[in-house]
A and B are shown apart, each in its own frame.
Chain A
Amino acid sequence: MQAYEIIEDAIRTILTERDDEVPQLKRETQISASGLDSLDIAALVVRLEERLGTDPFKNGALTRFPRTLGELAELYTQHSGLA
């Protein structure tokens, strides 16, 4: 599975677990419009580290914070070596 699919799956899991409606998710979807609050996003990063073995937000190497799900996926792709 590619980074984007894994991220979308993780977001769906978080939202469906608590019976929240899942908005339409696309690469262009803003992270802030994905239905997650700031604590959910922190939890998402922890979950993604478990699944992808990397946390691109660690160590302050990040120069620009991703805004869309596509940009988030790209960040993980760069760090985890996923295609």
Chain B
Amino acid sequence: MASGIEIAAFEVVAGGREFGFADLAAAAHGVDSSQVRSVAISVPDGPLTAAALLWVRRTGLNAVLLHADLRRTEAEALAPKMGCSHILSGVADGKDLWLTLTTCETARQYRANQGHGLGLLTSGTTGIPKLVTRDWEALERSVARGPQWQEARWMSLYPLTRFAGFNTLLHALCNDATLIIPRALQPSAILEDLCETRPTHISGTPTMWRNLLMALAPGTPSLSSLRQITLGGEAVDQPILNALKAAAPQARLTHIYASTELGVCVAVSDGQAGFPADWLEDNSKRVQLRLRGDELWVKRTECSIGGQCESSEEWVATGDLAAIHEGRVYFQGRRSDVLNIGGAKVAPAEVEERLSEVPGVLGARVVGRQSSIAGVVIVAELVGQAGTDEKSLRAAILKHCRACLPSYAVPRIITFIDSLPISASGKILRTDGERTNE
């Protein structure tokens, strides 16, 4: 039961090599799907991910895409729990790609999987990640397709095995276009890849873009090929939108609010942070949105999860905080990130946005540091523009924060760092060992 869209020209560019459709298809040469009930894909992030997905798409098998950073033993333990009878792994040697199928050793009754679904794991950092399965047909229907995108070159700054990265791959695949995979996710490596591979469409988190813009030498053409920049995964603030507009004026800027469970809920392309407040009452949207108290709730109006529609009528709390200001809804970070300062609640993302407004500040991270005598102290870690005097920047920051934030939300400790710490899914790291506010 292969999917409907015809794919013939899809290719992957990675590590200075081009993998054409035939190369990707050849990776599965000799792989026998006849005994497979359901397969867990456990391959390194790269062209093998695309080759493996093409194979499960062609065979019509149920599959689960495991995170690429899982160790082999972890994948072997997880696969049977996800109902998989086999593991698809792979090796890349230069231009040659090989996929191999092995049986899961754990003997157990596999769930009877029906249809042609693809399971993705949520990026939850605690416990066993949650499996979200979607029908291939529904996945492909969710992608905008058109002749104007056949020449497009999509680059993902996310791992391909996370929803955001997979979604980028899916866009390139469904438009029979090109997917570019950066050789490494360090800012300098990405900037080099941008110059060499000339992507037209790129997806990443605001944190990644802050780090990239900090590493971007003025006047270099790294961003000149971009026609579309998509931001997601974290709250998007006005300073990063303005900075991107200045750095890549020819590109359309879109910021999205999405999750593995719900797909893309909100997409905004007007260059302004937040989204119009009247969307909260719009019942025609695929995912309906409401603000209950300070938290965003969502309701899916279409069964996008294969065979599991029971939750589609329910309103779900997202854990994401939002507030309405002058007709727009602004995200204020995760509820779990909120700092409790002597009983008052402070959203780190909001303080970070205020900090980013100060000229000379390129990036900011706000964390709570446990204090032995007064709960939590707000610490601001800043990346300053090269050549900025730290002392005067510190004074400017305190002045600005005291003017626009309540006293308890003003950072009491300000330190300078070289770059923003980043997690596997490209988001700003909010935990750093014993200093965290847990």
Contacts and interface: CB of A to CB of B under 8 A. Distances in A.
Contacts of A38: 342, 374
Contacts of B395: 17-19
Interface residues of B, number: 20
A5 B394 CA distance: 23
Interface string B405-418: 00110001110000
Interface string A1-44: 00000000000001001110000000000000000011111110
Interface in B363-385: 369, 371-375, 377, 379
Nearest to B391: A17
A46 B375 CA distance: 11
B369 A17 contact: no
Nearest to B369: A46
A74 interface: no
B399 A39 contact: no
Contact of A45 (B372, B379, B407): B372
Contact of B413 (A46, A55, A58): A46
A42 B394 contact: no
Interface in B387-433: 394-395, 398-399, 402, 407-408, 412-414
B402 A42 contact: no
Interface residues of A, number: 17
A46 B402 contact: no
Contacts, number: 48
A45 B371 contact: yes
Task: Determine which residue in A14, A17, A37 has the highest number of CB atoms from chain B within 10 A of its CB, and name it.
Answer: A17
Contacts of B377: 39, 42-43, 46
B374 A41 contact: yes
B399 A19 contact: yes
Main secondary structure of the interface of B (DSSP, over half): mixed
B291 interface: no
A14 to B, nearest CB: 8
Contact of B373 (A14, A18, A37, A45): A45
Contacts of B379: 46
Contact of B374 (A18, A39, A47, A55): A39
B371 A18 contact: no
B171 to A, nearest CB: 46
A49 to B, nearest CB: 8
Interface in A53-68: 55, 57-58
A42 B399 contact: no
A39 B408 contact: yes
B341 interface: yes
A42 B398 contact: no
Nearest to B412: A43
Contacts of B407: 37, 39
Nearest to A55: B372
Contacts of B412: 14, 39-40, 42-43
Given A39-B342, A42-B412, A57 B372 contact: yes
A42 B373 contact: yes
A18 B392 CA distance: 10
A52 B342 CA distance: 26
Nearest to B402: A18
Interface in B272-328: none
A42 B369 CA distance: 10
A14 B411 CA distance: 11
A17 B394 contact: yes
Contact of A46 (B371, B399, B408): B371
A18 B342 contact: no
Contacts of A58: 372
B399 A18 contact: yes
B373 A57 contact: yes
Contacts of A45: 371-373
Contacts of B341: 39
Nearest to A60: B372
A48 to B, nearest CB: 11
15 contacts: A14-B412, A17-B414, A18-B395, A18-B402, A19-B399, A38-B374, A39-B342, A39-B377, A39-B412, A41-B374, A42-B373, A42-B374, A43-B413, A57-B372, A58-B372
Interface of B: 341-342, 369, 371-375, 377, 379, 394-395, 398-399, 402, 407-408, 412-414
Given A38-B342, A42-B412, A43-B412, 7 more contacts: A17-B394, A19-B398, A39-B407, A39-B408, A42-B373, A42-B375, A57-B372
